[in-house]
Amino acid sequence: MRIGFIGLGNMGGPMVRNLAEAGHEVVAFDIAAERLAALDGIANVQAASAINQTTAGAAIVITMLPASVHVESVYIDNDLLGSIDTSTLVIDCSTIAPATSRRVAAAARDRGIDMLDAPVSGGTGGAEAGTLTFMVGGSEASLERARPILEVMGSNIFHAGDAGAGQTAKICNNMLLAAQMTATAEALALGVAQGLDPAVLSSIMQSSSGGNWPLNVYNPWPGVMEGVPASRGYEGGFFVDLMIKDLELALAAANESGTPTAMGSLARNLYRTHQATNNAGGLDFSSIQRLIAPHAGE
């Protein structure tokens, strides 16, 4: 299948490799020439010299861009939609504002083009391994058209609802994640300060009503769990900078819909404080433990 792919960053690059490896013919584009060059010599991958070359004859066009402004700019301001055939399925994998996804999807629909928002979780590791999770907004039928391609890049595919719903599901999930990671870090800090062993306390809470994803697979206290960022100085994983981006998308949506989000807002503010005070933007988001217990694990 011929696939146009725009946006070859840390996520888009490995996604293209997986598509090509699965035998699809990928026409790729990025405004950064070195990213395009990095795909040189990979079988089934062809570098486009202009963004519009990605769409010609493509069964599917995929974008993986940094923010709302880029998605709107590419599809609408630069009228990529104008170069896309109505037989092409468009999948935007960027994490952006639900409102922007809805606007771009509506513009696509006006031209008779099917479009999905399909933001991912799983990080660069998931992109490389082809085990991403996709949260998809758009019609059931479009999702079924996309499924074989999404399955090349990921292992979990959720249909969240109509256009924009993929974005909403992702930012709701990540807002909850940020809050429960921070609350987990607080509970561990309090327990340790009162004399408990962090591994014992983690194990008790994991089996009790405090149980959550961080305690199951991503414990923030250094040394409690092997192979997680907390046990390697919070290197790798999901960056604080990116968690903040998702939190701010969630809070912008909350402003738009008038939803109280006191816990989500607090998480954003603690992460911003952590980012600035501990120069933590490039650390894994479980490093919020350090803001709460600066000497955790020492």
CB of 54 to a copy of itself, least distance (A): 30
Interface with a copy of itself, residue 83, by CB under 8 A: no
Interface with a copy of itself, residue 240, by CB under 8 A: no
**What x/- string results for residues 142 through 181 when contact with a copy of itself is judged by CB under 8 A?**
--------------x-xxxxx-xx--xx-xxxxxxx-xx-
Interface with a copy of itself, residue 254, by CB under 8 A: yes
What are the CB-based long-range contacts (under 8 Å, 24+) for 248-256? Answer: 249/95, 249/96, 249/97, 249/167, 249/171, 250/171, 250/172, 250/174, 250/175, 251/175, 252/97, 253/97, 253/98, 253/99, 253/168, 253/171, 256/99
In angstroms, rounded to a whole number, what is the distance separating the alpha carbons of residues 260 and 248? 14
Site for a copy of itself in 113-132 (CB under 8 A): 121
Interior CA angle at 229 toward 227 and 231, to 5°? 65
In angstroms, rounded to a whole number, what is the distance separating the alpha carbons of residues 104 and 234? 37
- Token pair in block for residue 183: 């609350």
- What is the set of active-site residues? 170
CB of 92 to a copy of itself, least distance (A): 17
Interface with a copy of itself, residue 264, by CB under 8 A: yes
Residue 31 vs 69, nearer CB to a copy of itself: 69
Tell me the C-alpha to C-alpha distance, in Å, between residue 38 and each of 2, 7, 17, 42, 199.
Answer: 20, 13, 11, 9, 43
Interface with a copy of itself, residue 73, by CB under 8 A: no
Phi, psi of 163 (to 5 degrees): -50, 130
CB of 296 to a copy of itself, least distance (A): 11
Residue 130 vs 198, nearer CB to a copy of itself: 198
Identify the residue among 73, 78, 87, 273 touching a copy of itself (CB under 8 A).
Answer: 273
CB under 8 Å to 123, separation ≥6 — which residues?
Answer: 237, 238
Interface with a copy of itself, residue 13, by CB under 8 A: no
Residue 5 vs 134, nearer CB to a copy of itself: 134
Interface with a copy of itself, residue 190, by CB under 8 A: yes
Interface with a copy of itself, residue 197, by CB under 8 A: yes
Site for a copy of itself in 198-227 (CB under 8 A): 200-201, 203-205, 207-214, 216, 218
CB of 125 to a copy of itself, least distance (A): 13
Interface with a copy of itself, residue 1, by CB under 8 A: no
| Secondary structure E strands in 118-161 | 120-121, 132-137, 154-161
- Token pair in block for residue 209: 């009503």
Interface with a copy of itself, residue 31, by CB under 8 A: no
Residue 20 vs 175, nearer CB to a copy of itself: 175
Q: Do the Cβ atoms of 137 and 160 come closer than 8 Å?
A: yes
Q: Which residue has the tokens 């921070």?
A: 182
Interface with a copy of itself, residue 19, by CB under 8 A: no
